Structure 1
């Protein structure tokens, strides 16, 4: 027998697969490759993608049958071959039992069970009709390169909602505090509607619009309400106490008459704006050029009102003398120190709740973000 030809069969990798897996690794998201093919063949393909653990592929037929044992093995490995449709489903459940959020990608009927049970099912547009029907996301262009943008968009929305919620709830806290303070002290409310319109627009309304649209790469975390309250309650109380203190000092300084009410409310408005602007500066961290520019524009807007006579009249802002305006600035400076201290100290005494321990089942809404399970196309 004389050989006349050598035929080599090779799996074709999607050109964007390597970059997509590299992005997931940078985002602390672990990818796992599962396939019905021979484990050695699957490992060879994964090695071309520089996937960690590709040199140690595992035959799924040797995996433990019990959920706890399978979960323990899945924590160790990355590449699995000879995986049956039922095993794919069991793998998803095993990782979920460890508290992981699991994303599953697939295009064949044998992936339907796992896609249906995964937290996020991703199907290819060219996949089977059953696969597309059970998936939450369908990649119409059949490109894995879409997935990083999907993750980034989700993190942007969730992260920016938290930023904006911090802004609005801080205002709610100091507004409620001052309402009770006014009732107890039996004094006129320290602001006119036009004051709050100006301050809210410059420290909440306009900034919130830009912050909501900004990129955000922070990893999604549970306990949203706890973190927002941890920020807004101390920040709102510091803002409210400082502002109302300046208002009472202004009433004592100016005489607390009908004729001096505008000067008193103007001093309180100056204090509130300075503190609220610093709250915004903390929320806007880490700084970028446009965030610094946003803070500068908001500060410039308020300064413009203070130095423009007709705008002073429109917004009823009239800083009288030198004493109270500087007192307002000084109290705001002390409040800023309190805000910085609260930002660093409060999380230590009011930390995030601990994650569920490994091996304990947790509800889907409380699983931490992490570890998608993926499979290579074409199986």
Structure 2
């Protein structure tokens, strides 16, 4: 009988990492700076929908070395994991439903690599037909591309077929024989007419639409930080969509930067305010960070989800630092910058200990701020 194996335990510099999802694998890999082929293969067996070839390219882009040494992979069974303190609640896959389109949420960071969009669009543009069965789509798209296609709203379900969105069809007509159609994703500034087609389609995803509207409301009020976005949602009682979009299934922040004293909080004068303590002693700051990361944030996440209320972390940036989703503030934000929705802004890498909700700025491009 096959064991129920849903997580992998890996060691790095004396610390234990629990790898359940692609986000966990990237967090571990960026700290270890190398990943064994055995570990990568084991992870892909847990996630058959994730391409091993694609993961290799992602790790390579981030300077992570793939090594061929033999490694015993330690799986965590469901029964064993229920006994460990690392047992964290799982993020809802359903997403927020707000406009008739079913949102798939922002869970998987692997799905949001903006550089893949052009390749998918090119494959679709070369097809004569505009609707396909799922099995037909998978004859010229791989599983990752297929998931991206649905996540971004490029196709919608119509009876037993997936129909290409009308906005994409119109974009293909506009492209026509346009020889300047090069680097669509890389250079949206000079391809704004194509960018607008993409944005219109993206907004059909309820989560993207809500997020863009929320940022617009904040910007019109002169507000731009991630903390400001939470404040607005509290004021307007937008608890459920905020939870589905901003809060992850587990606290996320690189643990090694905390132990090494390189986390952004160690050099911040606001630490006493954020942590509710008067000390600026590095050892005490480290203990506070570990407490918020490993204990307090887990308790608050459970509290928030049980009560469907985000007021618990309003005005508490120490909790926001760990609870705001890595996928959102790193992957999704980078994606929105690349497609020309957000103004270019520094991506504050949580895995490097660089994240602070007070200075994580979200600003729409001027032409979208209407």
Query: Fold match, TM over 0.5?
Result: no
Q: Which has the larger radius of gyration?
A: 1
Larger RCO, structure (CA 8 Å, separation 6 or more): 1
TM-score (normalised: structure 1): 0.22
TM-score (normalised: structure 2): 0.23
